[in-house]
Amino acid sequence: MIDFYWVPTANGQRAAILLEETGEQYRLHPVDLMRGEHLAPEYLAVNPVGKTPTLVDAETGVTVYGTLAIGLYLCDKHGMLLGDSLTTRAAVYHWAGLVASDLGPAFTGQYIFNVMAPERLEFPVRYFDEQVVRLLSALEHRLTETAFLAGEAYSLADALAYPAAATSAARLPEGLQPFPALQRWQHTVAERPAVQRAMALSAEGVDVPA
């Protein structure tokens, strides 16, 4: 059994998709960021970083924080979604890394300066808007060549990228309209039962940044 500390933001959805794809049994522990629960001693005892998502796996005794680490851990544990050759795995790492290290943080910056900032600061707003478009364009270009990000098979990279398209990009004025290959890919990934179960999870009583 896995204890899963989360909030249903794009990052929480990424980890939830991987839990569902790998068929793990898990218990949800919503963490209310708006009320500062991520910085409360109870949560810091689980993850001193004070951020979500985090999982604690009773079967192996490990605690793992962050979408990429959680995804790699679960896929490694179950021997799936990482590819069966060195070159395929390199493509999975490449696109999973781009999503976790570049696209996710770009959307976070875009959210902070467009939605959370008490005053509008033109430079960071423009900077993060441009970053998001540039990175989505890289995914778009890739998906005009291959069915999925790492090639012809669904992988960890797609599981991590899906919430960027389904949740984060919904905040953009035109959504995914300028990215037809991404839209095609999004519809395909959305049909996966594991993705549907993960995206339907809700954190009752918890305010979600939107």
Q: At closest approach, how far in Å is the CB of 93 from ligand GSH? A: 15
Question: Considering beta carbons, is residue 20 or 151 the nearer one to ligand GSH?
Answer: 20
Residue count (the chain): 210
Question: Considering beta carbons, is residue 149 or 151 the nearer one to ligand GSH?
Answer: 149
Q: At closest approach, how far in Å is the CB of 199 from ligand GSH? A: 15
Contact yes or no for 208/8 (Cβ under 8 A): yes
Q: At closest approach, how far in Å is the CB of 184 from ligand GSH? A: 26
**Residue number with the shortest CB distance to ligand GSH?**
51
Q: Please give the residue ranges that form the binding site for ligand GSH (CB under 6 A).
A: 7, 9, 11, 33, 38, 50-53, 66-68, 100, 104, 108
Question: Considering beta carbons, is residue 38 or 192 the nearer one to ligand GSH?
Answer: 38
| C-alpha distances in Å from residue 56, one per residue of 27, 42, 135 | 10, 14, 32
Question: Considering beta carbons, is residue 67 or 151 the nearer one to ligand GSH?
Answer: 67
Strand partners, 62: 57
Q: At closest approach, how far in Å is the CB of 177 from ligand GSH? A: 25
Q: At closest approach, how far in Å is the CB of 105 from ligand GSH? A: 7
Instruction: Report the alpha-carbon distance of residue 148 to residue 133 in Å, rounded.
Output: 19
Instruction: Report the alpha-carbon distance of residue 103 to residue 161 in Å, rounded.
Output: 9
Instruction: Report the alpha-carbon distance of residue 130 to residue 136 in Å, rounded.
Output: 10
Question: Considering beta carbons, is residue 153 or 203 the nearer one to ligand GSH?
Answer: 203
In three-state secondary structure terms, 109 is: helix
Instruction: Report the alpha-carbon distance of residue 103 to residue 131 in Å, rounded.
Output: 8
